[in-house]
Amino acid sequence: MNIKNSFFFKFTQKGFCEFITKWVIDDDQPFITLENKYFRKMIKILNSDALVLLADTIKNDILESFKVEQKKMSILFQVI
């Protein structure tokens, strides 16, 4: 999913999680923001099917993505 160039997209839980993850990273949001009851209520009002990740889950997802990218960069620098 390319959310960078698209504002509207068909809802999928996976796409929603990717979008929330990018928002947390891009806006430097604290992970705990996702567990705020008003944030969760707002998301449910906007889409009752959306399941918001827990702070620990998004933190782990972001750290795992970082490790994958770090490994790619390491391989790239070894080739250079």
Q: Domain span at residue 20?
A: 13-79
Structural domain contains residue 33: yes
Structural domain contains residue 3: no
Could you tell me if 31 and 67 are in contact, meaning their C-beta atoms sit under 8 angstroms apart? Answer: no
CB atoms within 10 A of CB 20: 19
Q: What is the pLDDT of residues 16-38, one digit of tens each?
A: 998 999 999 999 999 999 999 99
The better pLDDT of the pair 70, 6 is held by 70
Structural domain contains residue 18: yes
Structural domain contains residue 35: yes
Q: Kindly state the greatest CA–CA separation across the chain.
A: 50
Structural domain contains residue 2: no
Q: At CA 52, angle to CA 9 and CA 10, rounded to 5? A: 15
The model's pTM: 0.74
> Which pLDDT value is given to residue 5?
56
Asked if pLDDT for residue 73 goes beyond 60, the answer is: yes
Percent of the chain exceeding pLDDT 70 equals 89
Number of domains in the chain: 1
Closest CA to 19 of 63, 50, 64, 60: 50
Rounded mean pLDDT of 48-71?
94
